[in-house]
Structure 1
């Protein structure tokens, strides 16, 4: 996230030469920022609904715990963009150091947490499919909550260290430590990406190939679409943050790329609630019964194949999400 608009304007005036060309690019910057804020506001509303329903109105199970934490990470990530927009647009009485330290650290914390939780969801789902007996019988109690707590703690530690040693004003003082932390953080993100891609590919292979192909369930479709949206919209933000942003001159010159990546990252965090509602309501006959948001979310994480082709396999109150027969 860029934190010094004034420096950008001075640099861009030098780069583009004329005031007319500069204001043309500056206009596109404002348009991308407005689109980002609109998407962030929609995403905040959607993730709030998911947090409210799954957190207070539905029975907790293995995967719903992960989904609640993923929605929390997305909410926090989008909230950081709203705070930055308010600061840069209305010139709030907040020092630049607070913005650069607090907002950037929290945004990094939320991004790493979201990727970690999504990778864990995909990996655990892959294990439950490939080794179902071991998973159902030997899975530790409250594993979902424990894993989420560990991932939040690790993400917070990495983001705080990065913010302390790798912020631009003090980057030269802690150059060596910053390089070490960058290496650790990038290695962790690469590991998460490998787990996310490998587990998703294994699930897709098991579904489409082999003699014992699995029947698709709504839970599988929810996870696959969420992973696909992240790879298309969320992953570029990580590459941009830890690669391009370290080279300040190139970063200033490629400000359109920065704004586009920010917009895509907000689309990724905003899309998850709509994915849940789309999968949960897909192929349902809405006129037959009143479908509440709780029931739609319940259907989105249903881990049993549809009984008939019309999608009316089970009454609403008898649907169970994956893990209701497991220990949480």
Structure 2
């Protein structure tokens, strides 16, 4: 690996400062998000996979839960990285894989949230077409296509990612654009790659999904308004929650990515970007926890399924325990009854049969 890096990375390599206060906040956020997100998304996968008939909406939510589960499951690794003082000890390949999971979730989440919004808009505006062509098979094909598209968009970030050793012997897991820079044009190429990655993430994973979400819900809301105010108000609350959560979780991250690209030309911004990027990434991960809350747990039917599923599990556990106790009691009672009957036969037997007691002592009864 080359000993020279892009200007922003060079400043990070020379920095010996560990922002412990920011790291502790980030570690705490990551720990809470990871624990709750893993449980939450596993619960959704369990309920949809075993207790809910497959439908178009369940396919959307199932894929969204898989993506969010991957993101939240990778959080403990990044939490460990931060807790160790922002030093990566798991090798360059795992650095690439861990970073790729984050970006894969970023693209898949944006694509799926936009797809769910467009699907609802289509059902509302074209109910006949939706009835004839909207089915589970179509949803599966769309989801596979979205995963492939997200994977292709993730590949550049996998290639650019690498481990970089600082002067204080800490190891970063970050971009290393210099490994693809042309000789003699390294600084210019660094700026080009930095601008390209930041702008492409912002447009593909944030701006376009946001436009699709807002545009779809505005269209649906205007259509529902003609049917009655009460339904519009309930729908409006969900729309506001979806848009606000998406913006609050992902806007800070993309803002810092754009600032990071600007910092290539504005050195005074580099320290601010280095401090704020971990916190912004943590907020982005929170979206993996909010997605199920907004799209799944807000649905009364799904909550009823969860309660039914949990009650069935507890009921089966209790029934198994009770059956086990009953079997043990039944076995014990039958054994005692059998022994009492044998004792009564021995006590009432003639004296010349007492030789049997050599094998079975009747005094034990």
TM-score scaled to structure 2, two decimals?
0.63
Distance of aligned partners of 1:45 and 1:220 in 2 relative to their CA distance in 1, 3 Å threshold = farther
Instruction: Answer whether contact 1:84 1:99 (CA < 8 A) is retained.
Output: no
C-alpha separation in 1, matches of 2:238 and 2:180: 46
Aligned residues: 274
The answer to whether 1:192 aligns with 2:209 is yes
Specify which of 238, 246, 259 is matched with residue 278 of structure 2.
259
In 2, Cα distance between the equivalents of 1:180 and 1:272? 28
Select 1:101's aligned residue among 96, 99, 118. 96
Q: Which structure carries more relative contact order (alpha carbon 8 Å, separation 6+)?
A: 1
Cα offset, 1:49, TM superposition = 0.6
- Which residue is equivalent to 1:244? 259
Write the mapping of 1:40-59 to structure 2, written as runs, cut at 5 A: 40-59=34-53
In structure 1, the residue matched to 2:231 is 215
Give the CA deviation at 1:72. Answer: 1.0
Paired residue secondary structure (1:254) = helix
- Aligned-partner Cα distance in 2 for 1:202–1:233: 24
- Does the aligned pair in 1 maintain the 2:47–2:305 contact within 8 Å? no
3-state secondary structure, aligned to 1:215 = helix
**Cα distance in 2 between the residues matched to 1:37 and 1:186:** 26
Deviation per residue, 1:298-326 (Å, 9 max, x gap): xxxxxxxxxxxxxxxxxxxxxxxxxxxxx
TM-score by length of 1: 0.69
TM-superposed CA distance for 1:183, in Å, is 5.3
Distance 2:104 2:244 in 1: 22
**For residues 133-187 of structure 1, what are the alpha-carbon distances to aligned partners after superposition, in whole Å with 9 as ceiling and x for unaligned?**
1221233661111111011111111111233147632346243677656655544
Distance in 2 separating the partners of 1:98 and 1:245: 24
- Could you tell me which residue of structure 2 aligns to residue 157 of structure 1? 152
Please report the RMSD computed on the Cα atoms of aligned residues, expressed in angstroms.
3.7
Counterpart in the other structure of 1:324 = none
For structure 1, the 5+ residue unaligned runs are 1-6, 14-22, 285-290, 298-328
| Aligned pair partner of 1:70 in 64, 70, 94 | 64
2:108 is equivalent to residue 113 of structure 1 = yes
Per the alignment, residue 231 of structure 1 pairs with 247
Match of 1:84 among 78, 82, 89: 78
Task: Flag the 1:210–1:236 CA change in 2: closer, same or farther, 3 A.
Answer: farther
Distance apart, 1:53 and its partner CA? 1.0
Residue of structure 1 in register with 2:4 after alignment: none
> In structure 2, how many angstroms separate the alpha carbons of the residues matched to 1:87 and 1:184?
27
Distance 1:150 1:219, change over 3 A: farther
In structure 1, distance between residues paired with 2:194 and 2:152: 14
Q: Decide whether the 8 Å contact of 1:11 with 1:252 is kept in 2.
A: no
What displacement does 1:277 show? 6.1
Q: CA deviation at 1:273?
A: 2.8
- Structure 2: any 5+ residue segments left out of the alignment? 1-10, 162-173, 182-188, 311-365
Contact 1:70 / 1:117 at 8 angstroms: preserved in 2? yes
Indicate if the aligned counterparts of 2:242 and 2:294 stay in contact, CA closer than 8 A.
yes
